């Protein structure tokens, strides 16, 4: 289905968004302050708008991807009248407060608004597994789901436009935590010593077999967190703490950075000291939240 869409902001991510719309067969109008960034897209069939106002007027769906919400506001303010009755999808990175503020201004103007987060590097945009998060009125999302699917997997989080921003940074935190844990494992298994000298590729093959178990544990612990009850299930916190100590010791013997296991030991050690050694690992949510012991 050919649906007209305008993309304002052609940085690396914005250019990838516009390119994905073109690849999906959508008539795409683009605008960027630096006109040279539009040329590769024009060569692929995009129409370059002479101004943000012209881009807004080119179709019913306007996608914005600019460096900050302040920049987005500056660019879009002269377009306020033209945006009325259209749908604005804001994929600019920012805080939840920025998202709510932008949604409030759009509502006052009579603009249909979705806030979003593209959880993908530019080279991944357009892949079916490229996660794209959206928040705002469900009817607005459903009306444009098919077009937004050109960017990847469109996931609707709820009415609150701040939801994508919160999920964006939380999921990045998970990414960094997981990748840092993986790098620690690469360093530990690859270092000299008994059982060492393992290549990163070989270790990662085993990690791939382990990750489904991690996913299952997340699901189980999520239910415990929601219920506020943390049964050990045969693997209590005091046992976790003992194994964390072994991780730290193994790293010290091989000269591996110890900050990560020390962070584990700090949280779990506090919980065990507070008498929660017989509870399950999910008990640590109370410490991550910063509420315990106050």
pLDDT at position 291, please?
62
Residues 190, 200 contacting (CB under 8 angstroms): yes
Query: Average pLDDT for residues 22-32, to the nearest whole number?
Result: 97
Distance separating alpha carbons of residues 30 and 8, to the nearest angstrom: 6
Residue 61: name the closest of 138, 123, 4, 105 by CA: 4
Q: Give the single-character DSSP code of 134.
A: E
pLDDT digits (tens, 9 = 90+) for 64-100: 999 999 999 999 999 999 999 999 999 999 999 999 9
| Structural domains in the chain, sorted by start | 5-159 (3.40.50.720), 191-288 (1.10.1040.10)
The number of residues making up the chain comes to 294
Q: Is the pLDDT of residue 294 over 70?
A: no
């Amino acid at each position: 289905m050919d649906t007209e869409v305008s993309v304002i902001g052609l940085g690396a991510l914005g250019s990838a968004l516009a390119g994905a719309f073109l690849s999906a067969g959508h008539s795409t109008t683009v605008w960027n302050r630096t006109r040279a960034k539009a040329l590769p897209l024009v060569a692929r069939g995009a129409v370059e708008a002479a101004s943000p106002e012209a881009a807004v007027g080119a179709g019913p769906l306007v996608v914005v991807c600019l460096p900050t919400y302040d920049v987005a506001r500056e660019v879009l303010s002269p377009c306020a009248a033209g945006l009325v009755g259209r749908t604005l999808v804001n994929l600019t990175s920012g805080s939840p407060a920025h998202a709510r503020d932008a949604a409030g201004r759009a509502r006052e103007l009579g603009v249909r608004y979705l806030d979003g987060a593209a959880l993908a590097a530019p080279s991944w945009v357009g892949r079916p597994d490229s996660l794209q998060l959206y928040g705002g009125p469900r009817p607005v999302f459903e009306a444009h789901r098919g077009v937004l699917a050109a960017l990847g997997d469109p996931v609707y989080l709820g009415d609150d436009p701040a939801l994508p921003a919160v999920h964006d940074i939380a999921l990045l935190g998970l990414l960094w935590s997981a990748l840092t844990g993986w790098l620690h494992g690469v360093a530990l298994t690859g270092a000299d010593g008994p059982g060492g000298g393992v290549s990163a590729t070989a270790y990662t093959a085993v990690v791939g077999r382990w990750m489904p178990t991690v996913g299952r544990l997340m699901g189980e612990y999520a239910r415990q967190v929601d219920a506020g009850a943390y049964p050990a299930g045969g693997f209590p916190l005091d046992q976790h703490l003992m194994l964390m100590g072994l991780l730290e010791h193994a790293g010290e013997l091989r000269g591996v950075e110890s900050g990560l296991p020390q962070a584990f030991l700090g949280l779990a050690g506090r919980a065990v000291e507070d008498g929660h050694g017989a509870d399950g690992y999910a008990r640590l949510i109370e410490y991550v939240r910063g509420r315990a012991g106050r």
